[in-house]
Amino acid sequence: MLDSLKEKVVSIIEQKSDVTSCLQGICELLKKDVPYYDWVGFYFRNGEKEELKLGPYAGEPTDHTIIPFGKGICGQVALSNQNFVVPDVNAQDNYIACSITVKAEIVIPLFVNGENIGQIDIDSNTPNPFTKDDERFLEFVTVEVAKIL
Ligand code: SME
């Protein structure tokens, strides 16, 4: 299923003229087509500040539009440059809850010229849903998106 979505991601990037509508289209596609992706969004470094700012997303609005580096799963990925897969958010100390329905989260950093400039963040209402296939697929998405940033 994830592999068949790669083509659709590439086609969104080819068809849309501006970056924001590409990112919005990708968020909506992923949320709609992957049953256990319940919230899909991009965060980007906020200028030179040590914080992330919410970009396009699909799902419920969140209060967490700014996340300081180091805070929550997203803020930790901003510093670690590593994928962060959380099978059970309740087992995490450094976690920012967006909704009580969320059970699991995956965050994949996005690199441009080797620099960690943002990330794709996915929340799931299903416990422990993410596998290596999600990591590989979302890495593909970040690489494709990096080409237009
Ligand atoms: N749960 C994230 C915050 C962002 S929301 O999931 C949209 C975190 O701990 O960083």
Tens of pLDDT, residue by residue over 73-93, are: 999 999 999 999 999 999 999
Task: Determine the atom of ligand 1 nearest the C-alpha atom of 95.
Answer: 9
Using a 6 Å cutoff on CB, does residue 53 contact ligand 1?
A: no
The pLDDT of residue 21 is above 90 = yes
- Tell me what pLDDT residue 17 has: 81
Distance (Å) from CA 126 to ligand 1 centroid: 16
- Structural tokens at position 29: 């596609």
Tens of pLDDT, residue by residue over 55-77, are: 999 999 999 999 999 999 999 99
Using a 6 Å cutoff on CB, does residue 64 contact ligand 1?
A: yes
- Determine the Cα angle at 134 with ends 128 and 137, to 5°: 170
Using a 6 Å cutoff on CB, does residue 8 contact ligand 1?
A: no
The pLDDT of residue 16 is above 90 = no
Maximum Cα–Cα distance for the chain, whole Å? 41
46 confidence band (pLDDT: 50, 70, 90):
very high
Sorted by where each starts, the structural domains of the chain and their CATH numbers stand as 2-146 (3.30.450.40)
38 confidence band (pLDDT: 50, 70, 90):
very high
State the Cα–Cα distance between residues 105 and 41, nearest whole angstrom: 12
- Tell me what pLDDT residue 59 has: 98
Task: Determine the atom of ligand 1 nearest the C-alpha atom of 75.
Answer: 10
DSSP 50-115: SEEEEEEEESS--S-SEEETTSHHHHHHHHH-S-EEES-GGG-SS---S-TT--EEEEEEEEETTE
